[in-house]
Amino acid sequence: MKFGKWLKRQIEQSLPAWKDEFLSYNELKPVIGAVSPAEFVARLDVEIEKINAFFIEQEEFFIITHRELQGAIRSALERKPAVPASAHEAEIAAIRREIVNFHGEMVLLLNYSSVNYIGLAKILKKYDKRTGAGIRLAVIETVLVQPFFTAEAVSLMVRECEAMMEAVFPTAPGEGQAAARRDREALVAAEQRIFRNTVSALLAMQDVRSGSSTRGRHSLPPLNLPDSDWLRSF
């Protein structure tokens, strides 16, 4: 599948509201060979600035949400002795669902980062192949320190959410069957959405990297996924 088509599908499968925040890959392709290296890099700088601005905005929102969820957890645990068991279990179940949803949103943002990095690497490779300008490594060097690429805070919050789900909110034996069933359904739905988007990103990375014939410091190493045919069925 051509990268531009895959990018469009990835956007549609994640959040359509984000569609204008991705790398304008299809708009950059026609100008390859028609503009100087300096002008092409300037256009990429505008794209990188756009991607960074969106990523930082989402990251700041996630940091606030993360703090609110931590506060909700502390409050729920502190209130446990003072409220009926059924009310406390319902509160815990609601917070657990919020954490699952929050985790899924952050995974999508990390996929957003991966999609844009792959797009930048691809368009730079096309430009160098067409023009012989050799700008790819220099531009990638700057990309590697961009907030959207490092994504340190979001990656940390993803791990913390997973730890919270495992350690703080295990399914309580006393929960009613209906509440437990709703929790399981919410968890399964969230996990399926996360799985589909993650699989899509992994398969795209495998396709992109399998076509790389050169190896350098910033080239994309091969990515061989076990049972890739089975993964593609999703």
pLDDT in tens, 123-161: 999 999 999 999 999 999 999 899 999 888 998 888 888
CB 24 within 8 A of CB 47: yes
Label residue 216 by pLDDT band (50, 70, 90).
Answer: very low
Query: Is the pLDDT reported for residue 218 higher than 50?
Result: no
Domain that holds residue 35: 3-232
Mean pLDDT is lowest, of 36-45, 79-88, 172-181, for 172-181
> How many C-beta atoms lie closer than 10 Å to residue 126's C-beta?
17
183-206: average pLDDT: 60
Each residue's pLDDT tens digit, 28-67: 999 998 999 999 999 999 999 999 999 999 999 999 988 8
Most confidently modeled range among 153-162, 170-179, 193-202? 153-162
- The per-residue pLDDT for 1 is 54
Number of domains comprising the chain: 1
In degrees, rounded to 5, the angle at the alpha carbon of residue 225 between the alpha carbons of residues 221 and 226 is: 145
- Residue 21 has a CB neighbour count (10 Å cut-off) of 17
Counting residues of the chain whose pLDDT is more than 70, the rounded percentage is 61
Q: Residue 193 — very low, low, confident or very high, per pLDDT cuts 50/70/90?
A: low
Instruction: Please report how the helices 3-13 and 85-131 are oriented relative to each other, as an axis angle in degrees rounded to 10.
Output: 160
Count, residues in the chain: 234
